[in-house]
Structure 1
Amino acid sequence: MRLCFLVEEQYRHDGMPREVIAQLGAWGHTVDVIRPGRALLPLTSALTAGDHDAWVLKTVSGGPGLTLLEAAAHTGLTTVNDVRAIRGVRDKALAAVIARTHGLPVPVTYAAARAEEFARIPEAEFPLVVKPADGSSGRAVRLVRDPGELTAPGPDHEPLTGLLIAQPYVPNSGTDLKVYSVAGELYATERRSPLHPGHAVRERHVPLSAEVARITAETGAAFGLDLYGVDVLYGPDGPVVVDINDFPSFRQVPDAVARVSAAVLRLARRDPGALTPPPLPVPVAVPAQPAAR
């Protein structure tokens, strides 16, 4: 097969997708790499020639890669993930609405173009988690304890620009779960919550509870994703989905490179079996995490 990977500059040295690209090449497939931020792409010829069996996106939110992937899909080319699914999770405001309409456990979400507008939210809902709607990798995520902090500089000194979202903070133990789905196979990693920088947690693979497995599978079905990750917090009322990512790092997934590479090939071939998750193994129950402020 011949594949095209769209890789943003900040990911060019990452294992995902660099090692996947190498693995596909070792298996005898041809992989072309386009770096959207540093490429001149003749759109009218490159996207209509049909030289690739599938296009794969690994870029930052808000980068030019998604537009190129959408253009490829518009000409009938296969994309991994589906471009509509990627657009749905890259816009966190849109993702919150999609998740809510499908009954997924997500926090109440507000949107505004200026952080100070969130001062209208009832004070009983503070503290708030405020972040850019097109953010990624934890960029510019802030914990705002009261309305007076909405316009204060964040710890990273990065200004909040563009459309913003705010959600009531979910009290938790300082850890969260990153659940990865590789074409229906689920893996969970425990890690430190980005809002608890002083909390010492060793990132490690952990068993997956039946409830979180169900939520993760329902998230993939709601958005139409095949390769994705879901961030889950254990709040006072149970698991809460706080973020969804297309093509994440897949850290701690056993044999991640081989598994993701094989999934990319199945999806590129439009193998129906790759789009229907296999029956989930019986998950090992994980006790609920104690709530803490």
Structure 2
Amino acid sequence: MRVVLLRSGSPGDPNPLLDALEAELRLAEVAVISLFPAEMDSSVSIPQADAAVLKDKTPAGLEWGRRLHEAGIPTVSPYPVTALCRDKLRTNHVLAQAGLPVPECRPVTGPEDLLPMLADGPVILKPRRGSRGRGIQIIHDTAEVPMSWGVEEMFAQRYYEPETLDRKIYRIGNDVFCVERVWPPVTLKEKQGRLIELDTPTRELAMECGRVLGTEIYGVDVIEHEGRPWIVDLSSFPGFKGVPDAGARIATVVLRVAAETRKDVSPPESASSSGTLCAAP
């Protein structure tokens, strides 16, 4: 069995999650091929593999994810889901169209686009392709509207003041964890947060996100405002900070996906029917 890990950065860069995942795969006697798209020419041939882990979500990483997907190699998370989630505005629209509680979102190209939303209350300005809280601004009135924000594509989301600490809900297969932490976190301890018990309705809400998008590995941020949960962000492959044994849990999913791939390519007389991990949205 062969598994590709698409890793960001350069060889030698530490990544505790992927290092733990790789160690678990090697314990299962899997041949692990670590690729660093930022360091590679796009003309490099795709290696033979039964599955790939699409953690690198840079343009180079997504290009490799697309090539693997088109070659019939399943990626975890699925390439179509990962590509969708790189555009946070599109992701919010997909979830909202499915009837999930997502605050109102609109594309904005300049300060004047924020004024209609501000008339009804505060908004939060976000990069469409942001991550880790980068570039986020909460705007309460016209005096706080930035005069410009460069060439980066942005969108505005209705801002609801959270009534609790941030809740980062992580799903790996059928396991769901909720990590509560301050925002923005600064120290490692703050980033790890603390595990809390998740109520059934919020757990079901998080699971529904995966059913809508077609994935079983992701993270979703949920806040509570006036007693109601709101989905404010979703990542196709977060860092899973604070989740116990995250690398081992992800390895279990990857091994299952790889095993299903091997069944699908078996000779007809010995093949058994098997669904893929996830459907494209």
The TM tier, using the shorter chain, reads 0.7 to 0.9
Aligned-partner Cα distance in 2 for 1:10–1:105: 39
Question: Which aligned pairs between 1:35-74 and structure 2 lie closer than 5 A?
Answer: 35-43=36-44, 46-47=45-46, 51-60=48-57, 62-74=58-70
| Structure 2 residue runs without a partner (length 5+) | 262-273
1:20 matched residue in structure 2 = 21
Aligned-partner Cα distance in 1 for 2:10–2:118: 38
Q: Deviations over 1:128-183 (max 9, x none)?
A: 11111011111111111222322258xxxxx5532211112111135111111111
1:7 matched residue in structure 2 = 7
- The answer to whether the 8 Å contact 1:230/1:245 transfers is yes
Aligned-partner Cα distance in 1 for 2:50–2:42: 18
142-151 vs 104-113, greater mean Cα deviation: 142-151
How far the C-alpha of 1:97 sits from its partner, in A, is 0.9
Aligned-partner Cα distance in 2 for 1:265–1:202: 26
**Alignment size in residue pairs:** 263
| Structure 1 residue runs without a partner (length 5+) | 154-158, 277-293
State the identity as a percent: 28
How far the C-alpha of 1:88 sits from its partner, in A, is 1.9
Aligned partner letter, 1:22? A
How far the C-alpha of 1:3 sits from its partner, in A, is 0.9
- The answer to whether the 8 Å contact 1:112/1:164 transfers is yes
1:245 corresponds, among 235, 241, 248, to 235
Aligned-partner Cα distance in 2 for 1:166–1:196: 25
Aligned-partner Cα distance in 2 for 1:36–1:196: 29
Aligned-partner Cα distance in 2 for 1:238–1:85: 27
How far the C-alpha of 1:117 sits from its partner, in A, is 3.3
2:225 paired with 1:224: no
- The answer to whether the 8 Å contact 2:81/2:214 transfers is yes
1:92 matched residue in structure 2 = 88
Aligned-partner Cα distance in 1 for 2:25–2:179: 25
Aligned-partner SS, 1:262: helix
Aligned-partner SS, 2:24: helix
How far the C-alpha of 1:76 sits from its partner, in A, is 1.4
2:198 paired with 1:208: yes
Aligned-partner Cα distance in 1 for 2:122–2:23: 45
2:78 corresponds, among 76, 82, 101, to 82
2:101 paired with 1:105: yes
- The answer to whether the 8 Å contact 1:80/1:268 transfers is no
Q: Deviations over 1:203-237 (max 9, x none)?
A: 10000111111100100001111210110101114
Q: Deviations over 1:225-261 (max 9, x none)?
A: 1210110101114111011111211222222221111
TM-score between both structures, scaled by the size of structure 1:
0.81
- The answer to whether the 8 Å contact 1:191/1:204 transfers is yes
Aligned partner letter, 2:3? L
TM-score between both structures, scaled by the size of structure 2:
0.85
